[in-house]
Chains A and B, each alone.
Chain A
Amino acid sequence: MIRFENVGMRYGAGPEVLHDVSFELAPGAFRFLTGASGAGKSSLLRLMYLFHRPSRGLINVFDQDISMLRRDDLPALRRRIGVVFQEFRLLDHLSAFENVALPLRVGGHGEGLIRKNVGELLEWVGLKDHMNARPATLSGGQKQRVAIARAVISRPALLLADEPTGNVDDRIAMRLLYLLEALNRQGTTVVVATHNQALIERFDYPSMHLEDGILHSRDVPGRGPEVSR
């Protein structure tokens, strides 16, 4: 599903923020990505959702060497990746419904399917009564659920969540994790960046730990078929 080999990354002419990152994620894997603030979690996720290119090393996403991709190839790949951004990145002028519907519209799906799927999903994340609300009128937790609904509406093969539990209380964070777990059981590969130690212990999935741009993996034996180094 995803393979990094000796990947280095820098922003512009700045210093390298990721060094020699190597790992592999099998389809269906669930991983936490941990590390202190500034360790490079968001940067690593940006490489995975094809927002940044590595400055060195090899990245394979869906068995494609991303250095070989042309600009026109990106949309199709990105549609298979759902992202929950650290700052949510909802469009303020659109209702919750339209925000969640966006990936389907971009994918050219019909109005009927959009009504049905978006309605169901919003109900599932408990936002049935807030479909027409603008993000500005929603609480942090509600915005986050909108962001998650948008990330999963088109049933991505890979779901990347950047500190989704960052600014919600533990109860909501727990519910969120159950939700991601449910998606994972349906076959979605999930990577969750977080530094919520309680969650990591509670859910007991393997984690990848970043420290100053260097990746250390910590596997939990007997969990999932994936290989990692």
Chain B
Amino acid sequence: MSAERARARAVIPFSADPAGRLMPWLIGFMTFVAGLALAGALTLDTFADSWSEGLADSMTVQIPPPADEMGDAQAAEARIDETVERALRVLRQTDGVASAESLPDARIRALLEPWLGATLDPGSLPLPRLIAVEIAGPDAVDLPTLRNRLATVAPDARLDDHGLWRARLVTFLNALQLVGLAVVAVVVLAAATVVVFATRGGLLAHGEAIELLHLIGASDGYIARQFQRQALKASLKGGIGGILVAGATVVALGQGAAATGADLPSPLVLRTEDWPYLAILPAAMAVLAFLAARRTVLRSLRRMP
């Protein structure tokens, strides 16, 4: 059946009312927004995993500069070098530690540069020494024992297993994810509301046609079918368009992130197994629009005499 014929056949002239014509665009825009929010929520999953893995595989030992900096600088340097060496030895002898490297001064200054500026005089600020520790895997190291042993060789050393960081990061990312999913839910509900209002508008605009249909023996179900078919078509049209644009946006953002060469996993690179969730979105929108239109028509008509 040609489109022309189908249009000629539509019992209720939906294509004539502005609200009806606007519906695919509204649903399209909402699917786009929901699609981006859903993609964000899904990638945060990947993001949280890879970040917390990265943090779990490493620890940092911080050895503060000696307190008596007023004394002989050279001697103080030597003392701290010695402490670092002792700590490194302990670390390297510990089961589960893959490697332990002292970060050179230059590296520490490079890390601090964004905050303190490049003109920093190396001697003017007492810098702590940092030891980067790679461990074989999460829980590979007996932390309390390691802490005790470090305390004997380097009493001021602080061992940071990033646990607190990790916990905070995961909490934060989970919260973000919830926000993303909440956005999806709100947008989907808003889309359903749009359908309800468009349907009510349609019932008013086409009141005469509906009355005639009733008079020639149409059931409420028949009239509801006209509206639900229209809502299904409009929302599929808009939903598919919206999700395609959202998908393209996700791909473009992912490539943009890759191009900047950041080490961090980009929050907008979707795993292959995440894409089906995006594809479900327009289908879910369409089903919801269908049901919302049907319910609206049946409820409104039941109130008629």
Contacts and interface: CB of A to CB of B under 8 A. Distances in A.
A78 B13 contact: no
B217 A75 contact: yes
Interface stretch (A54-62, A101-109, A120-128, A174-182): A101-109
A98 interface: yes
A76 interface: yes
Interface string A90-110: 010111001000110111000
Q: How big is the A interface, by class?
A: 20 to 34
Given A71-B302, A93-B16, A102 B11 contact: yes
Interface of A: 49, 51, 53, 71-72, 74-79, 83, 89, 91, 93-95, 98, 102-103, 105-107, 150, 154
Contact of B218 (A51, A75, A83, A94): A75
Interface of B: 8-11, 13, 16, 208-209, 212-220, 222, 302, 305
Contact of B222 (A76, A106, A150): A106
23 contacts: A53-B305, A71-B220, A71-B302, A72-B219, A72-B220, A75-B217, A75-B218, A75-B219, A75-B222, A76-B217, A79-B217, A83-B215, A83-B216, A89-B208, A91-B209, A93-B10, A98-B9, A102-B216, A103-B216, A106-B217, A107-B217, A150-B216, A154-B217
A79 B217 CA distance: 5
B218 A89 contact: no
A93 B216 CA distance: 17
A104 to B, nearest CB: 10
A74 B215 CA distance: 9
Contacts of B208: 89
B121 to A, nearest CB: 84
Given A51-B215, A75-B218, A106-B222, 4 more contacts: A83-B215, A91-B209, A103-B217, A106-B218
Contacts of A103: 216-217
A198 B81 CA distance: 125
A78 B214 contact: yes
A26 B213 CA distance: 27
Nearest to B302: A71
Nearest to A52: B305
A117 to B, nearest CB: 15
Given A91-B209, A93-B13, A98-B9, A106 B216 contact: yes
Nearest to B301: A71
A95 B7 CA distance: 11
Contacts of A51: 215
Nearest to A102: B216
Nearest to B222: A106
A77 B216 CA distance: 10
Contacts of B215: 49, 51, 78, 83, 89
Contact of B213 (A49, A93, A106): A106
Nearest to B14: A93
A107 B220 CA distance: 13
Contacts of A77: 217
In this complex, the member of A75, A94, A107 whose beta carbon has the largest number of chain B beta carbons within 10 angstroms is: A75
Nearest to A76: B217
Contacts of A75: 214, 217-219, 222
